[in-house]
Structure 1
Amino acid sequence: MYIKHRYRKRSGRIEILLITSRKKKHWILPKGGIPRGMLPQNAAAREAMQEGGVIGEVHRDAIADMIVRKRNGSGLSTSFRLLIFPLMVTTELAYWPEGHFRERTWVSAEKAGSTITDREIGAVVVRFAKAAMEDDVGAGQGRYPLGI
């Protein structure tokens, strides 16, 4: 599984694009599985478009690689590998495949870090934003999504 973390630099700060989950409407980063034969980065970019309605340039390297646990509807817990890839947003679509049942919003990295239900993922977002500001990633180049 991977998560896309979309971000952009605006007014001297990094903003993160969050979407709502389909069922519980929690604020999350887009995520999904990696189809056989597809690179994880390309799968992250695909999910960013399908779930969040954004298109952009995905970073080649993951900013996080971790094992996470998730409970299903019957309470059983499963573990899976999670890769997080940043995606620089170049286009935000007015209509997208899952737009009829998802909301999206741009927030500060700090707000994203405290809003995302999974605290470990939230901490990755905050660390990424701090590093991106220090390195002046994408200065003046528009929006950046971080994808998992």
Structure 2
Amino acid sequence: MVGIIVARTGRQLQRYTCDNQRIVVGCIPYRLKSSIKSSIKNIEEELEVLVISAQRKGKGVLFPKGGWELDEEIQAAALRETIEEAGVLGTVEGELGKWCFKSKGNDAYYEGHMFPLLVKEELDQWPEKAIRQRHWVSASKAKESCQYSWMREALDLLVTRLESTPPKLDDLTL
């Protein structure tokens, strides 16, 4: 059981690249449908991912992400952001990749790192519950509705990884 979680605020501890791009980290929270336990056929049909609403209304859905701070390991930062924005806990797996992208909200450029997160627990309360909605969707629906092409690329990499190395059945139980 998790106690009250308070979101970090401010940017004084944020990491930046040498050319002043803010470094952000995030996760693709995922689970596999219960039928997967009997046999793994088509991962993409069995895969569900958790998407969250953007803070600005009408700006689509995305995967949780945010700033990587100086006092954190990269995977711990990705998990923290996922807890703050999506309210889920789980196992952070190996990095899917690194992308450089331009913000849709301003002219800033970012370096983004994404990780898969095998969800083990959904929290009833989380720091951004009042400003974000979360929804489990199929991988194909997430690709259609995700506002960032680099996040869709990360999802494709997750699907490829799961097809080549599916999770162990013991890891799938919530």
User: Which residue of structure 1 aligns with residue 31 of structure 2?
Assistant: 8
Deviation of 1:109 (Å): 1.0
2:169 to 119, 123, 139: 139
Rounded to whole Å, the distance in 1 between the matches of 2:140 and 2:87 is 23
Q: Is the 8 A contact 1:55 1:91 kept in 2?
A: yes
Letter aligned with residue 28 of structure 1: L
Letter aligned with residue 40 of structure 1: I
Q: What is the identity percentage for the equivalent residue pairs of Structure 1 and Structure 2?
A: 27
User: Which residue of structure 2 aligns with residue 68 of structure 1?
Assistant: 101
Deviation of 1:143 (Å): 7.2
Rounded to whole Å, the distance in 2 between the matches of 1:138 and 1:106 is 21
Deviation of 1:23 (Å): 1.5
Q: Is the 8 A contact 1:9 1:138 kept in 2?
A: no
Listed as ranges, the matches of 1:92-107 within 5 Å are 92-107=122-137
Rounded to whole Å, the distance in 2 between the matches of 1:111 and 1:45 is 23
Deviation of 1:27 (Å): 0.7
User: Which residue of structure 1 aligns with residue 39 of structure 2?
Assistant: none
Larger Rg computed on CA atoms: 2
Rounded to whole Å, the distance in 2 between the matches of 1:101 and 1:9 is 27
Letter aligned with residue 97 of structure 2: A
Deviation of 1:142 (Å): 2.8
Which has the higher mean CA deviation after the structures are superposed, 42-51 or 120-129?
Answer: 120-129
Rounded to whole Å, the distance in 2 between the matches of 1:57 and 1:41 is 10
Rounded to whole Å, the distance in 2 between the matches of 1:78 and 1:143 is 40
Q: TM-score, structure 2 length as denominator?
A: 0.73
Residues 1:143 and 1:84: Cα distance change in structure 2 (over 3 Å): farther
User: Which residue of structure 2 aligns with residue 33 of structure 1?
Assistant: 67
Q: TM-score, structure 1 length as denominator?
A: 0.85
Deviation of 1:140 (Å): 5.2
Q: Is the 8 A contact 1:17 1:29 kept in 2?
A: yes
Q: Deviating runs (4+, > 6 A) in structure 1?
A: none
Aligned Cα root-mean-square deviation (Å): 1.9
Which runs of 5 or more residues in structure 1 are unaligned?
Answer: none
Which runs of 5 or more residues in structure 2 are unaligned?
Answer: 1-23, 37-45
2:81 paired with 1:47: yes
